[in-house]
Amino acid sequence: MNNAFSLRRRALAVCAAALAGAAAQATPYTPASGAVVVEVLPRRADPLQQELRRLRAELAASPRDVGLASRLARRYLAAARSETDPRYLGYAQAALAPWWQSTAPPPAVRLLRATLLQSTHHFAAALADLDAVVAAEPANAQAWLTRATVLTVQGEYAAATASCARLSALAGDLVSATCLSGIAGLTGRAAGAEQLLALTLGRSAGAAPEVQVWVLTLLAEMATRRGDAAAAEARFRRALALDARDSYLLGAYADFLLDQRRPAEVLNLLREQGRIDALLLRQALALRQGAGTQQALAAAEAELLARFRAAALRGDSVHQREEARFELHLRRNAPAALALARLNWAVQKEPADIRIFLEAALQARDPGAAAPVLQWIAAKGIEDVAIARLARQLRAGA
């Protein structure tokens, strides 16, 4: 089940971005001299690279070996997380190429395809694959967890809860509690969900490190949403001690630090993470808060603008939330940010999506635009101190 929660859509936010898209350059780059380091390539002696080379060679000899292709794709997915490098997601898709367009691939391939599809916000296609997997393999815990995650991102909380319920009969207490608590924390039951999850984690000392990182990050976000900065900080730090390279964790902690007006710590946290668009955005926001030179800020803004324009040319809409933040907080273009936030809202409905929509509507002086989101907050029982503050300001200006 490691792939499901290490590349969950929350971390799909994580982590990542479009297939190999986060590393793409929009315009050709010519180094100023031969001494400039363009990229640090993996060492050939690295055990991971040796394993990947061996699996690639075996697959090249038997390209339609489903077991081998699935094993290589899973290894690439794990590498995308451990190396914080989204290019491995593209390599995973390439490993599955013989079945990528198939209407009925083997369940193992279908689950991997769903994991990759969700990372590019093709949620309907991902859910179609996941539905087929659980129909063929009702005891596939990873598929139920991934299905719950995708539905949660879309705000389909009842269906997501049903998937978590199916998972609870197949997985351990900690995974089951995390699945259910993540939804309960967004539907008016935040206090009880956080308490239950913290207690379950405390009873699960032997849990795998990647599971603990997932749980601790969720707990840190829960504490952040209720305004307990001390608890959030402690949980973020515990998670980072287990995995300092998890891109979703890095982005979530960076956002926390930005809200705390601690930009220098953001730059230190995200050093050498600029290949991922979402993390480069956080670096630029930290520079905007004053933790660097104007030259560095201008360079970061120019790079982000080039990447977003390249994504638009590719028809890639994965980064609409990040682009909305870019337009609002870096370019000070509230109307553009609001337009992007509205498009993003049609696709996903996480607290971060709510927040950027309300921020953009407030800065654009268009409280009416936020009406559907404000109705959503009231209907679902979203509890978040930052969102509540923005909602009050918008209602006051309506």
DSSP classification of residue 104: S
Cβ within 8 Å of residue 167, ≥6 positions away: 141, 144, 145, 148, 175, 176, 179
Is there a contact between 278 and 301 (Cβ–Cβ < 8 Å)?
no
Classify the C-alpha dihedral 224-383-341-321 as positive or negative.
positive
State how far the alpha carbon of 354 is from the alpha carbons of 3, 55, 226, 321, 394, in Å.
27, 42, 15, 10, 13
* Tokens describing residue 164: 């978590």
For 34-79, what is the HEC assignment?
CCCCCCCCCCCCCHHHHHHHHHHHHHHHCCCCHHHHHHHHHHHHHH
pLDDT of 318 > 90? The answer is: no
pTM of the prediction?
0.86
Cα separation of 239 and 255, whole Å?
15
How much is the pLDDT for 84? Answer: 65
Give per-residue pLDDT as tens, 6-41.
334 343 333 333 223 333 333 344 444 444 344 444
Give per-residue pLDDT as tens, 155-199.
999 999 999 999 999 999 999 999 999 999 999 999 999 999 999
From the number of C-beta atoms within 10 Å of its C-beta (0-12, 13-18, 19+), residue 196 rates as middle
How much is the pLDDT for 83? Answer: 72
